Amino acid sequence: MKRLLSFISLIPLFACAGTHLPADEYFRVDTVAEGFVDAMEIAVTPKGDVFVIERTGAVKIVNPSTNETKLIQILPVELRKGEFARECGLLGIALDPNFGGNQWLYLYYSVKGEPVHRLSRFTFDGKKLHGEETLLEVPHDRENATCHEGGSLAFGPDGCLFLSTGDNTCPFKSSGSAPIDEGPDRKWFDAQRSAANTNDLRGKILRIKPNSKGGYTIPKGNLFPKGTAKTRPEIYVMGCRNPYRISVDQKNNYLYWGKVGPDAGNDSDRGPRGYDEINQARKAGNFGWPYFSGDNQPYSDYDFVTGKVGPKFDPAKPINRSPNNTGLTELPSAQPAFWHYPRASACAGPVFYADQFPTGGTGLPKALDGCLIAYDWTTTRISAIKLDARGNIEWNEPWLGKYRFVHPGDMALGPKGELFILEYGSAWYDGKDGKLKRVTYSETPQAIQVSASDPRMKGLPADHPGTKLITGTTCLACHSTTQKSIGPTYRDVAKKYARDPKAIETLAEKIIKGGVGVWGQQPMPPHPQHNIEETQQMIEAILKVPAK
């Protein structure tokens, strides 16, 4: 024990020369509550209680002081239509800026039996929700493997409410490239009808000002002035694929969001490889999807019927000539990503300002002052992005890498400056291991307890090189070893191919090229970013998973 304490005392305040953040040993990560089913989004009250919503419809509240969780209500929501519409449910929550006085909260959810998402305001009486007032409905398709629903809610300091919506398009028929299929009866595969459509609320981030007596007004500064033909005035940002998590800087009202990118592993004549994006909007704009990705890298105008690759789209003058477009033909110029990286599942967390919270407590330290906290649902990486006074990036560094998080799905600051992190859980559907965690700071370092192994990896041979490769891929977004997710378990794969002498070669090729039909109609996207040697090593590790 004395040797351990001696070692801890020698840990420097900063992890290594040239870094700006305290070492991870100066941060404490505690589990506040657990057992959530498909945990989606959180909202923290002025007193420090935390609302947690589950995709399956439950609204819960957690007292971080006692770790007590109470069920408030279960909304009837549409979860899936067969194997499709798999990202529907209770999607977003936000508290009114005057929640302490009016007890209003806002929920965004998929209406059961109706092809719409609904944004509603409720009153919380301390026990239940009452008096639903519908503010807005977003029509959407629930067939032909459509997905990308967004659903994140956030208030700005001016009282405007932002809502993110996905492009509601099937991405599995585009070979990981732009879904712009204009063929007859192919609207589900064409994001030009949604994200690139100025007259459609999908693939957008909307901004409205809720009224105290119901309804909403359109604030000044949205992308299209009210009354502009073939547009929706609620649109603040267009050209989004799946803006899963958004946040608003509470000092300067800048909007941030993470865009989950497409699956292409390499550049091609049709366009760039898949990129995830962290975006910043200082004012309304078009952020390019499905015509551009990353730093405005253009896609080609591809004809899905003839297979002909046409000219590249022009970010200075995007043109939407799709027969599925009901909006303007000439779109606003496209804005490049604030930060982008190869495809995973980017999310935007809060911007921390030390002077907004009490000093001398356990909130985040001044070293994180002015930092946007970004994270990734798939890879679980967390980054602190230091912003200067104009909102530009000063530095971008990894943070809390010594801790393990399982599909971090939302973040929010508490009243003391502490950071709450909501883990979705290990399974894509109906998992029961979602957790609410709290990050606090200590002036003195402490030993970081080694976390239990990732439940998604249980049973894989620990020392196999293929296992180590799996931890760094997007595989764990859809698979785990023993719990059924959107894809088959590794145990089931090992059992199915146990006696197949060609299994390693067959499965490796399928991973690289993608496939559908063996385990149902949910497609597996191609993964050409992995070479054949790496892929075979991953298959070798999977096939070693024991039957029980």
- Taken in order of first residue, the domains within the chain and their CATH numbers are 33-373+405-435 (2.120.10.30), 455-543 (1.10.760.10)
Q: Cα 382 from chain centroid?
A: 13
Which among 443, 253, 292, 421 has a CA at the least distance from the CA of 362?
443
Neighbours of 548 (CB within 10 A): 5
Q: What is the pLDDT of residue 12?
A: 45
Q: What is the pLDDT of residue 7?
A: 36
The 3-state DSSP class for residue 154 equals: strand
Cα dihedral 238/241/245/251 (nearest 10): -30
Between CA 360 and CA 337 the distance in angstroms is 37
Cβ-Cβ contacts under 8 Å for 538 (sequence gap 6 or more): 466, 469, 470, 473, 475, 508, 511, 530
CA distances from 66 to 41, 61, 83, 244, 426 (A): 21, 12, 39, 30, 25
Number of H helices, E strands in the chain: 6, 30
Q: What is the pLDDT of residue 548?
A: 67
Q: What is the pLDDT of residue 107?
A: 98
Q: What is the pLDDT of residue 447?
A: 82
Neighbours of 461 (CB within 10 A): 14
Q: What is the pLDDT of residue 468?
A: 72
Strand runs (DSSP E) across 228-356, as ranges? 235-238, 243-248, 255-259, 275-281, 285-286, 292-293, 297-298, 300-302, 309-312, 339-342, 346-352
Between CA 530 and CA 527 the distance in angstroms is 6
CA distances from 22 to 83, 103, 249, 352, 397 (A): 45, 38, 23, 15, 11
Q: Residue 482 class from Cβ within 10 Å (0-12 exposed, 13-18 middle, 19+ buried)? A: middle
Is residue 247 within 8 A of residue 254, CB to CB? The reply is no
Between CA 535 and CA 170 the distance in angstroms is 26
- The single residue listed with the structure tokens 């028929």 is 173
Which among 305, 310, 317, 278 has a CA at the least distance from the CA of 294?
278
Amino acid at 180: I
The 3-state DSSP class for residue 318 equals: coil
Cβ-Cβ contacts under 8 Å for 378 (sequence gap 6 or more): 344, 345, 407, 474, 476, 477
CA distances from 501 to 408, 456, 496, 497, 498 (A): 38, 26, 12, 8, 8
User: What pTM was computed for the model?
Assistant: 0.85
Cβ-Cβ contacts under 8 Å for 134 (sequence gap 6 or more): 118, 119, 120
Between CA 242 and CA 261 the distance in angstroms is 8
Work out the widest C-alpha separation in the chain, in whole angstroms.
73
Phi, psi at residue 355, to the nearest 5°? Answer: -75, 0
Q: What is the pLDDT of residue 484?
A: 66
List the pLDDT tens digit at each of the 548 positions of the chain: 333 333 334 444 444 445 899 999 999 999 999 999 999 999 999 999 999 999 999 999 999 999 999 999 999 999 876 666 779 999 999 999 999 999 999 999 999 999 999 999 999 999 999 999 999 999 999 988 899 999 999 999 999 999 999 999 999 899 999 999 999 999 999 999 999 999 999 999 999 999 999 999 999 999 999 999 999 999 999 999 999 999 999 999 999 999 999 988 899 999 999 999 999 999 999 999 999 999 999 999 999 999 999 999 999 999 999 999 999 999 999 999 999 999 889 999 999 999 999 887 789 999 999 999 999 999 899 999 999 999 999 999 999 998 989 999 999 999 999 999 999 998 888 889 999 999 999 988 988 765 555 666 677 887 787 777 776 666 666 677 766 666 777 787 878 787 778 777 777 777 767 766 566 656 666 666 677 777 777 887 887 788 76
The 3-state DSSP class for residue 17 equals: coil
